[in-house]
Amino acid sequence: MANAAEQMARNVNLSTFAKAKDLQNRILFTLGMLILYRLGTFIPIPGLDPSQYSTLFQSQSGGMLGNLNMFAGGAVERMGIFALNVMPYITASIIIQMMTSASPTLEKLKKEGEAGRKQINQYTRYLTLAFALVQSFAISSGLSAVRIDGIAQPFFILTGVVTLTGGTMLLMWMGEQITARGIGNGVSLIIFAGIVAEMPKAIFNLLSQARATSVNIVFVVAIAAMVIALVVFIVFMERSQRRLLIQYPKRQQAHGFAQGQKSFLPLKINTSGVIPPIFAS
């Protein structure tokens, strides 16, 4: 469905966009889901003391925690219900893909077509739930020191596990709905929306640090140019493909032979997509 929608978007220009009702509905549906995702990042888990957690986050916001916060669209900084984001789902998807090549049972399911794919997706959901439960329990246990006074620790941990796990499962469902009824890959769009939402803040912090430390403006411009060049290179590699010519045989007609049709089999240069860098992270 997503591929059909993308093909439709390529073939529609501005003059015919108003008539493409299905494409409009898909775009509006995608935007609506992404807006709901952004709203969810501002809803904190119950029982958390905002001032104490803000102090804790500022003291440990460098490194990996800062990167996770960017991927989660700032939800980690606010410890929102979507703080885990779709990371448990991505981890589960990678493990299932690896096990598909190693397990005869999963490999057999993969060859069964649509029914087998649905069963594998169901296994991915179960594994996502398991990862989300473990990660949310670890986070809730660690944050119990900054809970609101008067709330029992077991109750805070329980509500934290339910909230964070429910947030991840809701995001997984939203991603699947965007893929089926919207534009593009839902999980990728959710990650993209989180990163884009945090980019203005990251740029502002970079400029503030440059002013505070009297960094040469040429150095800042050079860094920006390198980032733009890197993005262009990534897009070029992602869109590059080798087209293998497919020549169909000639067909016999009433007045002789007709030339066979020609088509191409596109082979992407980057066949693995974003899975390797995500797995390495």
Q: In this predicted structure, what is the pLDDT of residue 175?
A: 92
Inside any domain, residue 28: yes
Q: What is the pTM of this model?
A: 0.77
Inside any domain, residue 257: no
Inside any domain, residue 116: yes
List per-residue pLDDT tens for the chain, 281 residues long: 445 555 555 555 656 666 678 888 899 999 999 999 999 999 989 999 888 888 888 877 666 677 777 778 788 888 889 999 988 998 898 888 888 888 888 888 888 878 888 888 899 999 999 999 999 999 999 888 888 888 899 999 999 999 999 999 999 999 999 999 988 888 888 988 888 888 888 778 777 777 777 667 777 788 889 989 988 998 888 778 888 887 776 666 656 555 656 777 888 877 766 666 666 66
CATH code for the domain in which residue 19 is found: 1.10.3370.10
Inside any domain, residue 266: no
Inside any domain, residue 119: yes
Q: In this predicted structure, what is the pLDDT of residue 216?
A: 73
* Angle between helical axes of 87-102 and 153-181 (0-180°, round to 10): 70
Q: In this predicted structure, what is the pLDDT of residue 14?
A: 59
Cβ neighbours of residue 94 closer than 8 Å, sequence gap 6 or more: 275, 278, 279
Q: In this predicted structure, what is the pLDDT of residue 276?
A: 67
Inside any domain, residue 231: no
- How many folded domains does the chain comprise? 1
Residue type, 11: N
Q: In this predicted structure, what is the pLDDT of residue 2?
A: 46
Instruction: Please name every residue paired with 247 in a beta bridge, in sequence order, or none if there are none.
Output: 262
Q: Quick one: residue 127, left, alpha or beta (phi over 0 = left, psi -120 to 50 = alpha)?
A: alpha
Task: Give residue 70's domain range.
Answer: 2-215
Inside any domain, residue 247: no
Inside any domain, residue 171: yes
